[in-house]
């Protein structure tokens, strides 16, 4: 049997790791932020099976979200099982909605948020009757 990848962790560079962790917990439902290092400038948190790592960039470093390099490109894309409920949850919690729920030509119903540093993060659900390569 071939080796399998079991999980992954997305990593974002942020200006303030504690403020960013608070945003992802209070607005996006992530849990258990664990800070590492003597100055606690690295954090790991999770939601369900999704891991998210936050690393505080040096003060003089310019953080450039991917959409500023390539229009409409996300920094993270999560596939979910109930995009409408997740959208309602995050909107009610005050997450910054980047774009509203919509059906995309690639067969996903999705929405996007932005974090405190302008990173675009999308959440999508494969629409019924859509052929994809997803398991």
Structure tokens of 135? 């398991």
Domains and CATH numbers, the chain: 9-126 (3.10.180.10)
Note the pLDDT of residue 7: 86
Write the pLDDT tens digit of every residue in 54-82.
Answer: 999 999 999 999 999 999 999 999 999 99
Strand-pair partners of 51: 9, 46
**Residue 21, CA atoms < 13 Å, CB-side half-sphere:** 21
User: Residue 75: how many CB atoms within 10 A of its CB?
Assistant: 19
In whole angstroms, how large is the CA radius of gyration of the chain?
A: 16
Query: Any idea what the Cα angle at residue 44 is, between residues 38 and 46, rounded to 5°?
Result: 160
Instruction: Give CA torsion, residues 24, 28, 34, 40, to 10 deg.
Output: 0
Closest alpha carbon to 54 in 32, 29, 35: 35
pTM, two decimal places: 0.91
Average pLDDT in the chain: 94
């Amino acid at each position: 049997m071939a080796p399998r990848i079991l999980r992954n962790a997305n990593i974002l560079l942020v200006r303030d790791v504690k403020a960013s962790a608070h945003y992802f917990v209070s607005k996006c439902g992530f849990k258990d932020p664990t800070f590492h290092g003597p100055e606690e400038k690295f954090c790991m948190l999770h939601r369900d099976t999704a891991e998210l790592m936050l690393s505080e960039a040096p003060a003089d470093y310019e953080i450039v979200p991917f959409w500023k390099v390539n229009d409409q490109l996300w920094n993270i894309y999560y596939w979910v099982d109930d995009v409408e409920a997740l959208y309602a949850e995050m909107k009610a919690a005050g997450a910054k909605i980047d774009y509203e729920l919509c059906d995309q030509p690639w067969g996903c119903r999705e929405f996007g948020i932005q974090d405190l540093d302008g990173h675009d993060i999308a959440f999508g659900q494969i629409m019924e009757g859509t052929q994809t390569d997803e398991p």
